[in-house]
Structure 1
């Protein structure tokens, strides 16, 4: 009986650990400051360090679905400008 209780407690602790863990999903690992052609961009994602990813970045999604990582929008004026343009086009922030 004691082994069943111990096994159930252990299972509960393991399940809680998995549920509480942050799962990193497709983070930018490095960025570039190189200006991208606006006409190929469809949307963007803001990535903040400490919220599941190691670095802050702006990930632009191209019209063919490719993710291009550039410096965070607070660092480069052209990135902030592109975000404003994409927002006006179709609410580009995801």
Structure 2
């Protein structure tokens, strides 16, 4: 009886590991450094290489619902500025 319980526990752990490994991540595959007007932007996320994605990038989401992949904030000052703008905008609406 104990061996059956142990086998079921092991099977459960293995299944949970496979399920966790197959979580879909929507990563940017390439980026641009083309300037974007701040008035178009709604929010952002920063994607880091090695945390489920191959490259580091900034993902800006537009008011129209589009996802735009630009360079990481460490590479362009305008990206840092846009992130600060969106953070301040979010704080003002809280």
TM bucket normalised to smaller: 0.7 to 0.9
Q: Which sections of structure 2, spanning at least 5 residues, go unmatched?
A: none
Q: Does 1:24 align with 2:29?
A: no
- What CA distance in whole angstroms lies between the structure 2 residues aligned with 1:10 and 1:86? 46
**Structure 1 unaligned runs (5+)?**
none
Q: TM-score, normalised by structure 1?
A: 0.78
**What is aligned with 2:79?**
79
Give the TM-score, by structure 2 length.
Answer: 0.78
Which runs of 4 or more aligned residues in structure 1 lie more than 6 Å from their structure 2 counterparts after TM superposition? Answer: none
- Total equivalences in the alignment: 89
C-alpha offsets along residues 66-85 of structure 1, whole Å, 9 cap, x if unaligned? 11000001110000000011
Corresponding residue for residue 38 of structure 2: 38
* Secondary structure in structure 2 of the residue aligned to 1:59: strand
CA–CA distance in structure 1, aligned partners of residues 23 and 59 of structure 2 = 18
